[in-house]
Homo-oligomer: A and B are copies of this chain.
C-alpha cells in the first residue's frame, strides 16, 4: 500500500462511489463483478477503476472479476469505516438539526452521537434521539468519546472560533458547512460543503 499522502484525493472519493455500487450489488445477491460492469455502474472508465484499486493493493482475480463482498470490505478497511465511527454536529440550527437526524450517515459507518450549540435549550420544533449539549461540555465529550470527526454548521462569524475549539479538543476532521475558509493546523483535514456556492456554480453553467 502506498503512503497515505500519495493517493489523490479524488481517487478516495471514487472509492466511496465504488463502495455504494458494491453495496447495491450485494443487496441484489450478486457475488462477483467485472471491472467493466463496476466501472459502468460508478460512471467512470474501466481503466480509471483499475488504476484506483491498485492504489490500495491488488483486489481482482484476472478473468474472474472482483469478489463483491471482499472488495467492499477492503474499501471499508481503507476508508476506516469498518466499525461505526462517532461524529458530532456543532450548531443545531436549521441545517444542523437536519444533519443530526440525517439517516444517510449510518449506512456509511458514521454515528452522530451528540449535537452542541451555544444555546442548547433554544426552541426547536423537533425532538432528537441525541442530546444537545452546551459548548462548555465540548472538550470533555470529545475526549471521553474519542470523537475525531465534527460537522460544523454554525454561522460564518462563529466558525473559526468553534473550529479552534474543536482542534484543541482533539478533533482532526471537520466537515464544514459554514461559508468561510477555516484556518487549521496541518494535521487537521477540512472538507467544505458550501450549499450556496454549489447553486451559484449551477447558475453559471445554465445561464443562457
- A17 and B197 within 8 A (CB): yes
- A194 and B80 within 8 A (CB): no
| A73 CB within 8 Å of chain B | no
A contact residues, total (Cβ < 8 Å) = 61
| A65 CB within 8 Å of chain B | no
- A108 and B204 within 8 A (CB): no
Q: In the assembled complex, which residues on chain B have CB atoms less than 8 Å from the CB atom of A19?
A: 200
* A16 to B17 Cα, complex, angstroms: 27
**Given A79-B203, A79-B204, A16 and B102 touching (CB < 8 A)?**
no
| A163 CB within 8 Å of chain B | no
Question: Please, could you name 13 A-B residue pairs with CB atoms under 8 Å apart, sorted by A?
Answer: A13-B197, A16-B196, A16-B201, A20-B180, A79-B203, A81-B203, A98-B99, A104-B195, A110-B196, A151-B199, A173-B202, A173-B203, A191-B202
- Name the residue among A101, A126, A201 with the largest chain B CB count within 10 angstroms: A201
| A94 CB within 8 Å of chain B | yes
CB distance from A22 to the nearest CB of B (A): 13
Residues on A facing B (Cβ under 8 Å): 4, 9, 12-13, 15-17, 19-20, 42-43, 78-81, 85, 87, 94-95, 97-99, 101-105, 107-110, 125-127, 148-149, 151, 172-175, 179-181, 189, 191, 193-207
- B181 and A202 within 8 A (CB): no
